[in-house]
Amino acid sequence: MEFRYLGNSGLKISEITYGNWLTHGSQVENDVATQCVRAALDEGISTFDTADVYANTAAETVLGEALKGERRESLEIFTKVYWPTGPKGKNDTGLSRKHIMESINGSLQRLQTDYVDLYQAHRYDVETPLEETMQAFADVVRQGKALYIGVSEWTADQIRAGVELSKELGFQLISSQPQYSMLWRVIEEEVVPTSEELGVSQIVWSPIAQGVLTGKYLPGQAPPAGSRATDDKGGADMISRWMRDDVLTAVQDLKPIADDCGLTMAQLAVAWVLQNDNVAAALVGASRPEQVADNVKAAGVKLDVDVMKRIDEALDPVVVRDPGKTAEGTPKGRVV
């Protein structure tokens, strides 16, 4: 396993980070989820990312149980706050002081830890003054409940404003967690340059584009039984944007490139996002322990300029680059 600094901080994390979105507490049974976490530990992964909203808090509980007994100081545990949880009342969502302070306590209880290494704003809250949100995060840090603060799917301007306030309040906002893959490159034009300037790293989710970049989905054919594209608990909805024949055809052109590199298509996809110097880690999930071992082989892989060019040529017609897509993903109001 390779390790990278997270933002302008002294915190090192595993460049392959285990995430349990869409799996723990929902798509896979708890014993299999625990096996996946154990496999991640065996492969040298020390960083684990979750969120209170995943499976309506169940994912945090599963992760806490799976990590019980591990030396806490050897782990980096990340979680998030924003989306509605619990009974989903009027204050059970957003980034108000009330919701943040209550949510961190719930997350720590479920994760069975006294602190998280990184506490992330899961989206930008347009209904709460940013000053209130940042002051609450500052207090969470001062109370020792989180060591660092991050954000997820914030625009470049939102990140800049957040970093400025965090400095005034005496804590570090060091990370951004956006979607990023060979197919979805919307952060490259604005978010990445701004983050580089401000000392913020990316922890990217969906580097394999919900599994499409594995090459297992073929144009003109039904999705394999049991795959994410057939999952009715959220997986099929998330992958639907890529289930077009033009995308699936272009992805098949990556197979000879992966073969030439001695990699699977999934490993090529994960290695590709890690070529970006502003990316500290690629989030990978698993529904089977062997998937963890497969993805970890992307750690430390260096792709030469010719390989990167071949990838661009294969995918260029179907790549999404519009930086405005990040702003489009900002909720227009709190979701209840």
- Return the amino acid letter for 309: K
The crossing angle, in degrees rounded to 10, of helices 305-315 and 265-274 is 110
Active site residue 5: no
Spatial distance between the Cα atoms of 229 and 239, rounded to a whole number of angstroms: 6
- Determine whether 163 is exposed, middle or buried from the number of CB atoms within 10 Å of its CB (0-12, 13-18, 19+): buried
What end-to-end distance do the CA atoms of the chain give, in Å?
A: 40
Supply 84's token pair: 């509605």
The single residue of 18, 54, 82, 180 carrying the catalytic annotation is: 54
Q: Return the SS3 of 116.
A: strand
CB 135 within 8 A of CB 97: yes
CA distances from 81 to 45, 99, 108, 259 (A): 23, 8, 12, 40
Supply 198's token pair: 């401000």
Q: Give the number of other Cβ atoms within 10 Å of residue 69's Cβ.
A: 8
The torsion defined by the Cα of 294, 295, 299 and 304, in degrees rounded to 10, comes to 90
Supply 191's token pair: 């978010």
Spatial distance between the Cα atoms of 310 and 292, rounded to a whole number of angstroms: 27
Supply 101's token pair: 């302070």
Active site residues: 54
